A and B are shown apart, each in its own frame.
Chain A
Amino acid sequence: MSWVRAWGRALLFAFTAAAAALSFSTYTARTRSLAMKQVYFAAWQVLPGFTLFAAVLSWVVIQITVSLAREYNLAQFALELAFRVVVLELVPLLTALYVALRSGAAIVTEVAVMASNGELDELRSADIDPYEREFVPRIAAAAMSVFTLTVVSCFVVMLIAYLVMYGASPWGFNEYSRTVALVFGPGDLGGFLLKCVAFGVVVAVIPISAGLDATRDPRSVPVAVMGGMVRLFVALALIELVYLAVKYV
């Protein structure tokens, strides 16, 4: 039953955080400054490395797809397959997992330590809302990191798909556009956006809510971190599964 309660706490935290994010008093100079720092840590610092990783990975996958499709005389489906598999599924999921692994792990540990050494209680006793001061900036930063990394790496992957398929020739553009039109319809784009937002929300919310599970006992910190990371992974997998099921089943 404990995992049901943990999920319930995560959900409750998400609503509270959303309420805090919508409240006017959250937007102070201090919060903004912290949010910027967090965005810098979570997105700016990793952007070149992650984009390079996404580029190399997608280059290999698309190259295999295209050459195999050409071998089996199915080259006309290669680009569509690359878009559907790499751009719509692989890259967003990898981005969310990467941000979860990097920023999520850092945030859950940080919050768990804050809960463990009584920092949060001090804030509360000083009548400072920890949501405003600490949580909302981190949530915003994590969500923005997922959004930024996904958009930039998907853009790079689409460029690479063009280069792998047509080389530097500009004459593939019409065919490329047709495939883009086929894959990125309004429904597909809406679903993709929804999935990315869901990824961003769980990556931002679940680590902090899991960190809050830690007690004053220092031994509760690893348990809280582990529970948070597992829940985060399950949530990401579930979102991907539901998205795929709705789209293709």
Chain B
Amino acid sequence: MEREGFTRVPKNLQFRVGLLLGLTIMVAAAFLIYALYARGVFEATQRLTLVSDNAEGVSIGMDLTFSGFPIGRVQRISLGEDGRARIDIDIPRKDARWLRNSSIFTLERGIVGGARIRAFTASLQDDPLPDGAERVVLRGDTQEEIPRMVATLRSVLENVEQVTGASGSLQTSLDNLRALTERLGSKEDAQKVVTAIDRANALLASLGGVSRRLDGVVAKTDQRMFGAGGVVDGTQRAVEQANAILGELRESLKRVDRILADAQAVSGNAKAATQDLAQLRAEVDASLRKVSGLIDEINRKWPFQRDSEIRLP
């Protein structure tokens, strides 16, 4: 049973076997440590809990991605007291800076592959997400969309079928067209139709010109009515002038009052009073003329308001 006769045994057998065992154990231990490192055992993490009404497709070890990069891993899935699924995610501290208080989390399920949990952060200037935060996850489900899409598609197809069917409108139109082409048997008839179409085109072109001109007219009217220096503008200026003139008139009438009182009180000095009266009358006349002119001007510029009325005090 001694096998040395058949197979040569090296002298440093003990060393070789020891080396082999040592190497094997070292590789196994190194791999174990690497697996622990890969699972984030040596990394400080913070916890985020996502709440969803359905955690279908979520599995432990799944990634939470941000901008397509995984930044966290699902550690635990449980059913909460309120009947909603709770997805606990561990996020390494160094990656947690991508998540803010305002971040949004979505759970999407595609047709191929498992579900995906994604994080979106609108502003990286917001407060950071605290440890142990709890957020509601928004769900999007392609598989749930498909039946709805199919239902819509079916109605579309039915419409198309109606349009293209034997009694459909498209068929009727085609029939009409066929009848028309059949009726246009001779070359003259065809020529007539072409001429008619040409005329209709010319008519449409001239109608287009008319409508363009109408557009111009409307624009001009607009300019005249409401533009700078337009009717409304002028009227406004006239009214301002009228106000000023009315103020002057009021002042003049006050003076008339005062002078009449003087005239009553001082009847002795008739010459002076008469002089004052003459001057006053001239002023009143001038004021009244101005008012009259103003009213004329308003009437001229404001054609829609004929019975303008100015009350004198």
Q: How far is the CA of A151 from the CA of B23 in the complex (A)?
A: 10
Give the interface residue-count category, chain B: 20 to 34
Q: Give per-residue flags for B1-22: 1 if the beta carbon is below 8 A from chain A beta carbons, else 0.
A: 1010001011001101100110
- Size of A's binding interface in residues, CB under 8 A: 31
Q: How far is the CA of A47 from the CA of B24 in the complex (A)?
A: 11
CB within 8 Å: A-B pair count: 68
Asked whether, in the complex, the Cβ of B70 is within 8 Å of the Cβ of A178, the reply is yes
What distance in Å separates the Cβ of B177 from its nearest Cβ neighbour in chain A? 48
Does A144 count as interface, using CB distance less than 8 angstroms? yes
The segment from B28-36, B133-141, B182-190, B279-287 found at the interface with A is: B28-36
Q: How far is the CA of A119 from the CA of B70 in the complex (A)?
A: 65
Specify which chain A residues have a CB less than 8 angstroms from the CB of B1 in the assembled complex.
110, 114, 119, 134
Specify which chain B residues have a CB less than 8 angstroms from the CB of A177 in the assembled complex.
34, 37-38
**Contact with A77, one of B28, B32, B40, B113 (Cβ below 8 angstroms):** B113
Asked whether, in the complex, the Cβ of B17 is within 8 Å of the Cβ of A44, the reply is yes
Specify which chain A residues have a CB less than 8 angstroms from the CB of B24 in the assembled complex.
147-148, 151-152
Q: How far is the CA of A36 from the CA of B13 in the complex (A)?
A: 7
What distance in Å separates the Cβ of A190 from its nearest Cβ neighbour in chain B? 11
Q: How far is the CA of A152 from the CA of B28 in the complex (A)?
A: 8
What distance in Å separates the Cβ of A91 from its nearest Cβ neighbour in chain B? 13
**Contact with A40, one of B13, B35, B40, B112 (Cβ below 8 angstroms):** B13
The segment from A1-9, A10-18, A179-187, A201-209 found at the interface with B is: A179-187
What distance in Å separates the Cβ of B188 from its nearest Cβ neighbour in chain A? 64
Asked whether, in the complex, the Cβ of B16 is within 8 Å of the Cβ of A182, the reply is no
Does B27 count as interface, using CB distance less than 8 angstroms? yes
Specify which chain B residues have a CB less than 8 angstroms from the CB of A182 in the assembled complex.
61
In the assembled complex, 23 residue pairs joining A and B whose CB atoms fall closer than 8 Å, in A order, are: A36-B13, A36-B14, A37-B13, A39-B21, A40-B16, A41-B7, A44-B16, A73-B112, A74-B112, A74-B113, A76-B113, A110-B1, A148-B21, A151-B24, A151-B31, A152-B27, A155-B27, A155-B31, A178-B63, A180-B38, A182-B61, A185-B61, A189-B35
What are the 4 tightest A-B residue pairs by CB atom distance, in nearest-first order?
A181-B38, A177-B38, A181-B39, A180-B38
